[in-house]
Chain A
Amino acid sequence: DTGVSQDPRHKITKRGQNVTFRCDPISEHNRLYWYRQTLGQGPEFLTYFQNEAQLEKSRLLSDRFSAERPKGSFSTLEIQRTEQGDSAMYLCASSSFIAGEASYEQYFGPGTRLTVT
């Protein structure tokens, strides 16, 4: 396994369209995270899953955003009715959680760069 993968790497869409991104975590990792990064800023947390359960959501995740991880493996992030302000890099990360062990390291994928015109 070579790490977290994301697809597509780039997406250009027109305002008002819906877009969906996919993230495949490191195979043995049961936690998966979504972040958004705008130019010149650090990543901002959006949400995270442990297996298929979505356990934390940021206030940044408006009603137009939805994330799923139906089988506890890959995850999708959908943005409905895109706006120009949604233009950013969407990053996925994964980590391993074993009960009784404190493992915090999050490993990031290459990101999907979204441009809304």
Chain B
Amino acid sequence: GENVEQHPSTLSVQEGDSAVIKCTYSDSASNYFPWYKQELGKGPQLIIDIRSNVGEKKDQRIAVTLNKTAKHFSLHITETQPEDSAVYFCAAKPGGYQKVTFGTGTKLQVIP
């Protein structure tokens, strides 16, 4: 089955700096890669996603990149703000199935 590894597990940045979270996946059949933000006591919130036919996608301060050959994908947050502090999860889904496999999460702390 799919295995998703995520690094780093914790990340502290100064407000205004950029944050980068990296993930690798194992199943070459995976074709959909969402990123979720989870705040304490809440369910995961979909913030951006990318499909395997696209190499990069951007939405305001958030961007994702995908390297299918190397089987890794990354989340980039620019101009970080204190409200970006949360746990971020990467995930992967193989084509033809609905099971989404999540990484172990990155706790991001943005220091004002």
Contact surface of A with B, Cβ cutoff 8 Å: 4, 31, 33, 40-45, 48, 55-56, 58, 91, 93, 102, 104-111
Contacts and interface: CB of A to CB of B under 8 A. Distances in A.
A45 B101 contact: yes
Contacts of B81: none
Contact of A104 (B36, B45, B49, B101): B49
Contacts, number: 58
A92 B103 CA distance: 18
A44 B104 CA distance: 10
Given A42-B89, A42-B91, A56-B97, A107 B102 contact: no
Contact of B102 (A42, A48, A105): A42
Give the secondary structure class of B's interface.
Answer: strand
Interface of B: 4, 6, 32, 34, 36, 41-46, 49, 51, 89, 91, 93, 97-105
B14 to A, nearest CB: 25
A108 B100 contact: no
A109 to B, nearest CB: 5
A105 to B, nearest CB: 6
A85 B6 CA distance: 25
A91 B91 CA distance: 15
B99 A106 contact: no
A108 B43 contact: yes
Nearest to B99: A45
B98 A31 contact: yes
A41 B105 CA distance: 7
A31 B98 CA distance: 9
B32 A109 contact: no
Contacts of A31: 98
